Amino acid sequence: MAENKKEKTLEESFSELDDIIEKMEEGDLPLEETFELYKKGMEAVRECGTKIDAVEKQVKVLTEEGDFTDLPPMES
């Protein structure tokens, strides 16, 4: 049976990342659990980046002439 996985919102992804960081900062976890949290955190970071990129592509900027143009990509 195929499982339908609901896609998380950007806010949910950031909240998950915050929770992971908070747990890791406590510092009293076994190494294996810390490593698993790190992997989940990296997945959450990738999800956030993907979602932000998608939103960035949709953002339009109103030019002085009143035309909408795509927002140029941010340089990192």
Quick: pLDDT tens for 26-60: 888 999 999 999 999 999 999 899 888 887 777 66
Q: Mean of the per-residue pLDDT values for the chain?
A: 80
Q: Which domain holds residue 34?
A: 30-54
Can you give the pTM of this predicted structure?
Answer: 0.65
Q: How many domains does the chain have?
A: 1
Residue closest to 6 by CA, chosen among 67, 62, 54, 47? 47
| Upper half-sphere CA count for residue 69 (Cβ side, 13 Å) | 8
The verdict on residue 34 lying in a domain is yes
Helix (H, G, I), strand (E, B) or coil at 6: coil
The verdict on residue 61 lying in a domain is no
Task: Identify the bridge partners of residue 61 per DSSP, sorted by sequence position.
Answer: 69
Specify the residue for token string 């960035």.
56
Specify the residue for token string 């953002």.
59
